[in-house]
Amino acid sequence: MAAAARERRPEEVKSAARVLQVLELLGTEGARLSLAEMASSLSVPKSSLHAILRTMQSHRWVDLDASGTRYSLGLKALLTGTAYLEGDDVTGLAGPVLDALAEETGESVHLGRLDGTDVVYLAKRESRHALRMYSAVGRRLPAHATALGKAMLSQYDAAEVRMRLDWPLERLTPDTVTDPERLLEQLAEARLRGWAMDDGENSVDIRCVAVALGPGHGADDAISCSAPGSRMDDARAREVAQLVTEAAHSLRTLLKRIGAH
């Protein structure tokens, strides 16, 4: 029996890995996908994947559209993601800080976390202006193209940054910095002044400044404020950077009080 159990383990682990791959694929794409599209993307036989999807659907991890041919994330995925945010110390304490920063600046405010080569939005507050950047909690963006990502990457030395990122870097807009040396220069500048900036590198004509919470308080978390270039010239960017710096300090203080991070 022990031998049989050992023989089954690779199959069980493989199946579990495929379930996670399905969740990651649907979460990354943000759109409904057909069985054939997922099988091709994951390099998995359609027959094997179909069985996995049927099980996931029965447990509400994936949903089928009205045509019965395209899959999306199910309700259980939302509930699990919400539970993650509710149980996270940084996200739990950040609410009032983000509220105050959004009120002071009138612009879009975010809390982000470094996850591999990407930044994931954990919380957001909308701008009071009609013209603003698009964002959503759970959205992933390449760290090198965002102020949030640069703020967090600036906590590491050049060797660590080179190891962490995937090269060559993806270009999101004509202004995205993809040259390794130029990016390292930007990170060094951010390290010296205490805040990072992206200037239309993630979204055209959107400028963003960000401050990392720093070592001991979530080096892989940061707060940012974004606005169209028409509302954030260099002088305004420096003013906003000071407000974001104060907000990050407030959140660090709260985390220190409860002994988190």
Domains of the chain in sequence order = 2-78 (1.10.10.10), 89-258 (3.30.450.40)
pLDDT tens digits for 163-193?
Answer: 999 999 999 999 999 999 999 999 999 999 9
One-letter identity of residue 258: I
pLDDT tens digits for 42-74?
Answer: 999 999 999 999 999 999 999 999 999 999 999
CB 240 within 8 A of CB 93: no
Q: How far apart are the first and last CA of the chain?
A: 44
pTM reported for the whole predicted model: 0.81
Nearest-CA neighbor of 150 among 214, 195, 94? 195
Give residue 110's Cα distance to chain centre.
10
Backbone angles phi and psi of 106, in degrees to 5 = 75, 10
CB 240 within 8 A of CB 232: yes
**Residue 120, SS3 per DSSP:** strand
Give residue 198's Cα distance to chain centre.
16
Residues of the chain with pLDDT under 70: 1-13, 132-133, 216-219, 260-261
Q: 41: Cβ–Cβ under 8 A, 6 or more apart, which residues?
A: 25, 33
